[in-house]
Amino acid sequence: MSSIPSFLLKKLYAKGSLKNTTSGFQLAIRNTVAPATIVGLAPLRVDGVEYPLETTTAILPDGRHVSATELSADSSLSFSVGDTVTILVEGEPLESGSHALFIGPRTKEVGEVEIFVRDTVS
């Protein structure tokens, strides 16, 4: 767990980005804190349900798609201030309403970051 205060971590989540897609759902994180190097991602959880990394893809600011299973110290991604990364999850779309989200990027600089937020699918 990182030493970054939770109120700052919550600011990493792009509020209102939780949306259903034709093949699941998506959300986004926006770097508003400091430059970081993402070296991994914990399985995303929505309302306590864990989604396997094999179903998760990150869309980078340059438009590239990277599977969450590909992220490692040897295959990291630069996450500069101002960058937005969209996270796509394959599976069932979410029900309308409010959802509790857990996003857990692992960074080279501070280790695992735990982002707990709520957002709504309309």
Residue 2's pLDDT is 58
Note the pLDDT tens digit of each residue in 37-51.
Answer: 999 999 999 999 999
- Least Cα distance to 62 among 40, 85, 39, 82 occurs for 85
- 3-state SS class at 45: strand
Residue 27, classified by CB atoms within 10 Å of its CB into exposed (0-12), middle (13-18) or buried (19+), is buried
Residue 83's pLDDT is 96
Which residues in the chain come in under a pLDDT of 70?
1-3
Residue 36's pLDDT is 93
What is the reported pTM? 0.91
DSSP 55: G
CATH numbers and ranges of domains, the chain = 6-121 (2.60.40)
